[in-house]
Structure 1
Amino acid sequence: MPLPLYLLAMAVFAMGTSEFMLAGLLPDIASDLDVTVGTAGALTSAFAIGMIIGAPLVAALARNWSRRSSLLGFILAFAVTHAVGAITTSFPVLFATRVVAALANAGFLAIALTTATTLVSPDKKGRALAVLLSGTTVATIAGVPGGSVLGTLLGWRATFWAVAVLCLPAAIGILTGLPARQVQNDAADRPVLRAELAQLTGPRLILVMLLGALVNAATFGSFTFLAPVVTDTAGLGELWISAVLVLFGTGSFVGVTVAGRLSDQRPGLVIAVGGPLLLIGWPALAMLADKPVALLALVFVQGALSFALGSTLITRVLYEAAEAPTMAGSYATAALNVGAAVGPLVAATTLSTTAGNLGPLWASGIVTAVALLIAFPLRTVIADGRSIEVLR
């Protein structure tokens, strides 16, 4: 894989750390800025909504810029918003920085997903995507726990500063490692925006976007509420929360890496094998969560299966949207973040049921089942993108 691809992954690592780090910082932010924890939690929603709206919007606005300039501008904007967030004493200002950061993140990821596929041969899109998304999985392994520790030792503002600093080497790498001639779009050959948006009416593209969103909803629905499962259900100490999150992140890294080698040529195999295993894993985790050894093992396995299946489906989005070269990445980004936003909301409704802390795990199983029920009769479409006659 080419070096510029790893530079893009470094930027995705910084952005992924920012997206997930608030889970351990909200109490300190609420206390410092004199708001409730519930109000501070709106920062997470603001980021997710900004990502969903920002992906297609910012990609459309930036489609006439060179990709290198766009990527550089977005990551510098991301760094600046975190510097402002680190020094503000106003919650509304901090809220605004999260919205702007989400827009920058969405724009960067949308363009990076498309750029990554231009840096490799056409038959290696899945492997390129795996390298890019490894930035997110490494963020869950190292960035988020590291940010939590840094916030505990030096305060939440130090974590914001750390993210801003992480953006700088990635920005330098993008500037020097992505020659403009290599990633500049040819305006003469580029489809008009209306033609690219028309791709969203394609049944195959809608199908893989829907499935990607459902799998991601199941993933983040459980990931968001793992902490009480660890401490209350399994009876482990609070320090184990970070360990479990790291284990989930390690599994996700393994899943993305393995699937990256299969999702180009054999996506059907990943879905046929990984889908049922993922479906079985969520209720198994719910039933065995009170046994620490089983909990730790299943968290790793579910992280691997979730990201293997999710990254394969997102790769299919890029394939199906190949005729929308400047917007394809935004479609993939939107699908990912619809799942990331909806999943926790659905999971949260189960916490007040008799299932309690285990509700999100059961909800993830149901969402995964829905995805597989949709995918099964259309598996040949997902696998190889052949004629859509089977849809009729």
Structure 2
Amino acid sequence: MPLAVYILGLSIFAQGTSELMAAGLLPDISADLAVSIPRAGLLISAFALGMLVGAPVLAVATRRWSRRTALLAFLAVFVVAHAAGALTSNYWILFGTRVIAAFVYAGFWSVGASAAVGMVAENARGRAMSVVAGGLTVATIVGLPAGTFLGQHLGWRAAFWAVTILAAIAMIGVLLRVPDSRATTTADLRKELRAMATPQVGLLYGSTTLAIAGVMATFGYLGALLIETTRLSPGWVPALLAVYGVGAFLGIAVGGRVADAHPTGTLAVGISGLVLTSVLLALTAHHLAPVAVLVFLLGAFGFGTNPVSNSRVFTLAPAATTLGAAGNVVAFNIGITLGPWLGGLGLDAGLDYTSVAWLGALLAAAALALVGWSHLLGRTDSGTTVSSPGHEQFAGSAHQ
């Protein structure tokens, strides 16, 4: 695997830490800026908004740029936004810097994914994406607790400065190691849209959204579930969240290894495991021992499908080099927003915390149905498609 792919993973780690650590810094930000915690919580929504808009807009706006130039520009804006956020005492300026940082982070995801798969052989795309997406997993395990620790002991601004430094280091790596290549010479957006306007691509994005929503429906309220239902001491909640992070890291590593050879199987096993884990979590939520194991499996199965979800579009729609990765980012962030929102509706209606696990199972089951639908479409098209040796057929003419 080229060193540049690992540098892209480091860049995602730096930016993903910023995305995740905000939740742990809300009390400090609230007190320092004299705003309520719910108002401070809108900073998380601001980041999600920037991610949703940034991926397609920047993928299109920078399509004629070299990948390295685009990645450096995104990181430069990210660094400036975090420095400005660390220096300000105005809530709305901080809010704006969060939107801007997320906007360019989404662009980095889109272009970075294209760059990663462009640097490896076709049968190594899943592994490359497991390295890039693994940066976010490491941010969950290391960046989130480290950022929270810095915020608690040195102030939330210190955490922002730490992310700023990490992103600046990532810029140096991108400058030195990422090839100065272009995705296309003259990107034809209408051609890309036509390439993406297929049932298989739509089903891929749909299954990605629903699977991530299934994970986040549970994970978004996991801390509260552990305290209120499992009766775990609040001091032990970070340890269980770390167990989730370790599971996610191993899941994405294994998923990356098998994604290229067995894309359909990886999706089917991963999402089926997510359904079963969510059901068992709902049934055993009052007992710590099974919950500890299931939290690990939630991370493992939830992230194990990410390499396929991130890389498959480049095979299903090879002409969509610009918009394909942007669509992935949008699908993931819709799922990240949808799951906790639906879970919150149930909780507001008076349901207990086991309801979010049942919701996660339902959403994951819907995702599995879309994977099955896509597989059936692939089998229907198999009469006119010749399979490549050593690769599993998925969604018609697609091979990893």
* Band the TM-score falls in, shorter-chain normalisation: over 0.9
1:53 is aligned with what amino acid?
V
1:310 is aligned with what amino acid?
N
Q: Return the match for 2:248 from 234, 245, 252.
A: 252
1:378 is displaced (CA, Å) by 2.9
Q: Is the 1:74–1:105 Cα contact (8 Å) retained in structure 2?
A: yes
Map 1:1-392 onto structure 2 (within 5 A).
Answer: 1-180=1-180, 183-187=181-185, 190-381=186-377, 384-387=393-396
Once the two structures are superposed, what CA deviation does each residue of 1:252-305 show, in whole Å capped at 9, x if it has no partner?
A: 111111111111121121123222221111021122122112111101111100
Determine the C-alpha separation between the residues in 2 that align with 1:47 and 1:127.
28
Report SS of the residue matched to 1:41.
helix
1:380 is displaced (CA, Å) by 4.5
1:129 is displaced (CA, Å) by 0.4
Determine the C-alpha separation between the residues in 1 that align with 2:274 and 2:328.
21
Determine the C-alpha separation between the residues in 2 that align with 1:315 and 1:185.
15
Q: Is the 1:68–1:178 Cα contact (8 Å) retained in structure 2?
A: yes
Q: How many residues align?
A: 384
1:162 is displaced (CA, Å) by 0.9
Determine the C-alpha separation between the residues in 2 that align with 1:381 and 1:323.
20
1:82 is displaced (CA, Å) by 0.9
1:326 is displaced (CA, Å) by 2.1
Sequence identity percentage:
38
Moved over 4 A (4+): 380-383
Q: Is the 2:75–2:171 Cα contact (8 Å) retained in structure 1?
A: yes
Determine the C-alpha separation between the residues in 1 that align with 2:206 and 2:141.
27
Once the two structures are superposed, what CA deviation does each residue of 1:110-163 show, in whole Å capped at 9, x if it has no partner?
A: 000010001111111101000111100000000001111111111111111111
| Structure 1 residues 269 and 186: CA distance shift in structure 2, 3 A | closer
Determine the C-alpha separation between the residues in 2 that align with 1:269 and 1:385.
10
| Structure 1 residues 155 and 386: CA distance shift in structure 2, 3 A | closer
Per mean C-alpha deviation after superposition, the further-off stretch among 272-281 and 82-91 is: 272-281
Determine the C-alpha separation between the residues in 1 that align with 2:175 and 2:43.
31
Q: Is the 2:133–2:306 Cα contact (8 Å) retained in structure 1?
A: no
1:327 is displaced (CA, Å) by 2.2
Per mean C-alpha deviation after superposition, the further-off stretch among 286-295 and 72-81 is: 286-295
Q: Is the 2:127–2:307 Cα contact (8 Å) retained in structure 1?
A: no
| Structure 1 residues 374 and 368: CA distance shift in structure 2, 3 A | same
Determine the C-alpha separation between the residues in 2 that align with 1:22 and 1:287.
31
Determine the C-alpha separation between the residues in 1 that align with 2:173 and 2:109.
16
| Structure 1 residues 51 and 238: CA distance shift in structure 2, 3 A | same
Q: Is the 1:211–1:375 Cα contact (8 Å) retained in structure 2?
A: yes
- Alignment RMSD: 1.6
Per mean C-alpha deviation after superposition, the further-off stretch among 270-279 and 121-130 is: 270-279
Report SS of the residue matched to 1:290.
coil
Once the two structures are superposed, what CA deviation does each residue of 1:216-259 show, in whole Å capped at 9, x if it has no partner?
A: 11112221211111222222222222112211111111111111
Q: Is the 2:200–2:374 Cα contact (8 Å) retained in structure 1?
A: no
Q: Is the 2:68–2:179 Cα contact (8 Å) retained in structure 1?
A: yes
TM-score by length of 2: 0.92
Q: Is the 2:55–2:110 Cα contact (8 Å) retained in structure 1?
A: yes
2:259 is aligned with what amino acid?
S
Q: Is the 1:227–1:241 Cα contact (8 Å) retained in structure 2?
A: yes
1:381 is displaced (CA, Å) by 4.7
Once the two structures are superposed, what CA deviation does each residue of 1:168-207 show, in whole Å capped at 9, x if it has no partner?
A: 1110000001232xx23451xx441221123332111111
Q: Is the 2:12–2:136 Cα contact (8 Å) retained in structure 1?
A: yes
Q: Is the 1:217–1:343 Cα contact (8 Å) retained in structure 2?
A: yes
Determine the C-alpha separation between the residues in 1 that align with 2:294 and 2:361.
14
| Structure 1 residues 209 and 135: CA distance shift in structure 2, 3 A | same
Determine the C-alpha separation between the residues in 2 that align with 1:41 and 1:248.
23
Structure 1 spans left out of the alignment, 5+ residues: none
Determine the C-alpha separation between the residues in 1 that align with 2:234 and 2:133.
28
Report SS of the residue matched to 2:322.
coil
Per mean C-alpha deviation after superposition, the further-off stretch among 75-84 and 196-205 is: 196-205
1:53 is displaced (CA, Å) by 1.2
Q: Is the 1:208–1:314 Cα contact (8 Å) retained in structure 2?
A: no
Once the two structures are superposed, what CA deviation does each residue of 1:335-373 show, in whole Å capped at 9, x if it has no partner?
A: 111111111111111213443222221211111111122
Report SS of the residue matched to 2:7.
helix
TM-score by length of 1: 0.94
Q: Is the 1:83–1:161 Cα contact (8 Å) retained in structure 2?
A: yes
